[in-house]
Chains A and B, each alone.
Chain A
């Protein structure tokens, strides 16, 4: 089955810095890669996703890149703000059921 590794487990940055979270996956058939943000006491919220026919996608301060050959994808957050502090999860899935395999999460702390 699919295996998703996520690094780092904790990331601490100063407000205004950029943050990068990286994930690798094992199943070359995976073709959908979402990122979720989970704030304390809440459920994961889909913030951005990328499909395997695209190399990069941006939405304001967040972007995701995908390298299919190397089987890794990354989340980039620019100009971080304290409200970006949360746990971020990556996932990988493939067509049919699109049942995701999640990474273990990255706790992002943005210091004011």
Chain B
């Protein structure tokens, strides 16, 4: 059963600390999306990768957020330094560039105190 996996599932940290979230896309998928979900803003796209290259990160606060794909099986989203307003659920989704369907992971619930 192919699934997107994300780690950690929950993270509680103090303001100013670095946070790294990891995503393993479905094997063979070549597109990866990072989303943030909050009650106020709903689902927001943060970054989009195709064949490991970042194509769109316009939704991401550049001064503190960074997203990378070190290899085809790993995508990372880093926040440094973290702030309370970053508290949200962060989802990774993967797909194929030739098809529109996206498959979401279970998310990382981040709480910054």
Q: Is B56 interfacial (CB-CB < 8 Å)?
A: yes
Contact between B55 and A34, CB atoms less than 8 A apart:
no
Interface size on A, residues (CB 8 A): 21
Contact between B48 and A89, CB atoms less than 8 A apart:
no
User: Which A residues are within 8 Å of any B CB, using their own CB?
Assistant: 32, 34, 36, 41-46, 49, 89, 93, 95, 97-100, 102-105
Q: What are the residues of chain B within 8 A of A98 when measuring CB–CB? A: 95, 99-100, 102
Q: Which of B56-97 contact A (CB under 8 A)?
A: 56, 91, 93, 95
Contact between B100 and A34, CB atoms less than 8 A apart:
yes
User: Which B residues are within 8 Å of any A CB, using their own CB?
Assistant: 4, 33, 42-43, 45, 48, 50, 55-56, 91, 93, 95, 99-107
Q: Quick one: which of A36, A99, A104 has the most chain B CB within 10 A?
A: A99
Q: Compute how far the CA of A34 lies from the CA of B95 in the bound complex, rounded to whole angstroms.
A: 14
